Amino acid sequence: MAAAPAHAAAAASSPSRRLSSFAPQQRGHAQRCPFSPSLPNPLRQPCHHVAPSALDPSSSSRRLVPVYSSSAAQNPILWHLQQCQQQQLQGERAAEGGHGGRIEWNEDDKLREECGVVGILGDPQASRLCSLGLHALQHRGQEGAGIVSCDQGKLKSVTGLGLVSEVFGSDPSRLDSLTGDSAIGHVRYSTAGAASSPHNVQPFLAGYRFGHVAVAHNGNLVNYSVLRARLEESGSIFNTSSDTEVVLHLIAISKTRPFVARVVEACEQLEGAYSLLFLTSDKLIAVRDPYGFRPLVMGRRRANGAVVFASETCALDLIDADYEREVNPGELLVVDANGKVSSLCLMPHRDRQACVFEHIYFALPNSVVFGRPVHRERYNFGATLATESPVPGGADVVIPVPDSGFFAALGYAEKSGLPFQQGLIRSHYVGRTFIQPSQEIRDLGVRLKLAPVRGILEGKRVVVVDDSIVRGTTSSKIVRLIRDAGAKEVHMRIASPPIVGSCYYGVDTPRSEELISNRMDVEGVCREIGSDSLAFLSLDSLKVSLGEEAPTYCHACFTQNYPVPPKENEVARAVL
Ligand code: SF4
């Protein structure tokens, strides 16, 4: 398991950490660092941090602001320098972006699902249906897309960097070449360093002693480095930096027969999160890890009964397939050439640990994930938040941060009896990548995506509902945007608990120390983003909302209690 920083452990156990809401008694914090003119500033540009003593010299605020280091909390100069270094770190990561120095406008400060998968067997239009399914799952990965089809026992592959429409829409001959009645497809998002590598785009297609196999993977293996080192020691050569390749090697070196037994043997050596689709000359296989971290559903096309697998039901809807059931945690489903489905179990059995963030943010609201409609879960989280954290003194209007905060805001508004309004408009036409080297111009980026509706916000006490806060960078821009549009007060309400830990199961998260709620308590976050009050949905309320299924969900990014401890700290965040 990744070692939790000492300050994080202290913060987690402190009474203030356990609070999930904060409303400062007075507004009007100083927004400029009083020390910047006289201090060596690593950024060589004005600093906007608020030093602990500047907030309220007479009060206990030093105890409340960033729990970054106790000595820094007592020493404003040291504190300032640490904040500047933190800002510099964030700036460097943003500037790197893992894309050769390009700046990504879509840095909207969210956790990112890393992949989506689709598979189909029994339809002569398999690859075209697959591409439509991938369109529906585009929110799960925008860096690369690929499809492998099977025609009369021969596997054919097309993969490329970019959106599904860029890979398959720009050149119709690509889909034309993917003939056959079975296919698997994949969309991926990647972290730094690997996005630009076409080698990492899935599905992977490989030959072994008894034929060819293609694989598409959603998830992340926590024992990837251990397995890879073992395989390399015995002579395996790797083409990619993806953990998925390990699975192919394990299948290739397995001594068991038939192929399905090889897959079982390989999967039983994997630890972590995997929803996998395999395509061979005569079979489609779907496997979900014993904890069931990532979703995987099965359906059938109404027109011809073709079997379809997908990460979310929204992909089934698009291609006229009826949802049949989930692939159960630890289950392996084999579909033969005639469409007959058989089920096998991986050993050992585990208690399910489904990713609760699928309900909070990742999945589309029109999907059913882990057997629950996503829009209903989000609505309930928002309604619970309204009961748990009303705005002291009342508010005039509830607005969502579009699009992911929509249903939670609706739930909040209806429960609190406040009007629901679309106070921020999201532009759907912002390109994914701009080259903008200046921080000042990058800061304007949020306005490209979100435009405030002055007529709704002016003179109002506004409740803004978002799904989560990761680094806090976008939240502060949104608060500023709403204030600039004339709002009298801005109260942030977050429909999930504070994120304090990185994810090791297939979600791209910043390092723990970059997560704002890991660095500071709710009061500190409230000051940092500049809102009049801030409240998160408490973990207890989240669990109540999930009902008796609550123990079957992973909450590790809120608690740092990892159901499968990572075997290596950073290497385990390998890219899919
Ligand atoms: S750590 Fe968080 S994001 Fe990762 S699987 Fe668990 S709940 Fe999901």
Closest atom of ligand 1 to 504 CA is 4
Q: What is the DSSP secondary-structure string of 128-143? A: HHHHHHHHHTGGG--S
pLDDT value for 70: 30
Residue type, 266: A
Q: Are strands 553-554 and 354-355 parallel, antiparallel or unpaired?
A: parallel
Q: Is the CB of 499 under 6 A from ligand 1?
A: no
Q: Is 557 annotated as a binding residue?
A: yes
* Cis? peptide before 5, omega within 30° of 0: no
- Substitution candidate for ligand 1 out of 222, 275, 356 with most atoms within 8 A of CB: 356
Query: If 0-12 CB within 10 Å is exposed, 13-18 middle and 19+ buried, where does residue 518 land?
Result: buried
273 in Cβ contact with 291 (< 8 Å): yes
323-333 exposure pattern, b = at least 16 Cβ within 10 A, e = fewer: beebbebbbbb
Q: Is 84 annotated as a binding residue?
A: no
Q: CA distances (Å), 373 to each of 11, 297, 368, 379, 380, in order?
A: 35, 13, 4, 10, 11
**What domains does the chain contain, in order, with CATH numbers?**
42-96 (no CATH), 112-352 (3.60.20.10), 370-570 (3.40.50.2020)
Backbone angles phi, psi at 501, to 5 degrees: -135, 155
Residue with tokens 């963030």: 357
**CA 339 – ligand 1 centroid, Å:** 34
Query: If 0-12 CB within 10 Å is exposed, 13-18 middle and 19+ buried, where does residue 349 land?
Result: exposed
- Substitution candidate for ligand 1 out of 274, 555, 562, 564 with most atoms within 8 A of CB: 555
Full-prediction pTM beyond 0.85?
A: no
Calpha distance 393→189 (Å, rounded): 43
Calpha distance 126→107 (Å, rounded): 34
Helices H, strands E: what count in the chain?
24, 28
Residue-wise pLDDT tens for the chain (576 aa)? 333 333 333 333 333 333 455 554 433 333 333 333 333 333 333 333 333 333 333 333 222 222 222 333 334 444 444 444 444 434 433 433 333 323 343 456 777 667 999 999 999 999 999 999 999 999 999 889 999 999 999 999 999 999 999 999 989 899 999 999 999 999 998 643 355 578 889 999 999 989 999 999 999 999 999 999 999 999 999 988 889 999 999 999 999 999 999 999 999 999 999 999 999 999 999 999 999 999 999 999 999 999 999 999 999 999 999 999 999 999 999 999 999 999 999 988 899 999 999 999 999 999 999 999 999 999 999 999 999 999 999 999 999 999 889 999 999 999 999 999 999 999 877 654 444 556 566 666 677 788 999 999 999 999 999 999 999 988 999 999 999 999 999 999 999 999 999 999 988 888 888 999 999 999 999 999 999 999 999 999 999 999 999 999 999 999 999 999 887 544 434 333
Q: Is the CB of 291 under 6 A from ligand 1?
A: no
Residue type, 519: R
Calpha distance 177→171 (Å, rounded): 11
Q: Are strands 297-301 and 307-310 parallel, antiparallel or unpaired?
A: antiparallel
DSSP state, residue 405: T
Q: Are strands 489-494 and 450-452 parallel, antiparallel or unpaired?
A: unpaired
Calpha distance 188→575 (Å, rounded): 9
Is 47 one of the annotated active-site residues of the chain? no
